[in-house]
Amino acid sequence: MNGTTRESISVGLQVHIVLKKDQRSGVVIEGTVKDILTKSPTHPHGIKVRLEDGQVGRVKEILT
């Protein structure tokens, strides 16, 4: 699943995110969602979240 809709993301989910500095290279990081930062229901580049380790980025994939 991709991470472009806010309703598909919840606190505690395992996700792959792309950090701001890695947007061009597309390097992803795996982590657990702590906070959902995007207020709009959708975002074409992914919903912005904060992981439990404090890193902030846009969700590229929701892991099941």
Which sequence spans correspond to the domains of the chain?
6-62
Is the per-residue pLDDT at 21 higher than 90? yes
Mean pLDDT of 3-19: 96
Report how far apart, in Å, the C-alpha atoms of 10 and of each of 23, 25, 27, 41 are: 23, 26, 22, 13
CA angle 7, 54, 23 (to 5 degrees): 70
Q: pLDDT (tens digit, 9 = 90+) per residue, 26-60? A: 999 999 999 999 999 999 999 999 999 999 999 99
Mean pLDDT of 10-14: 97
Q: Which CATH architecture has domain 6-62?
A: Roll (2.30)
Strands (E), the chain: 14-19, 28-36, 48-51, 56-62
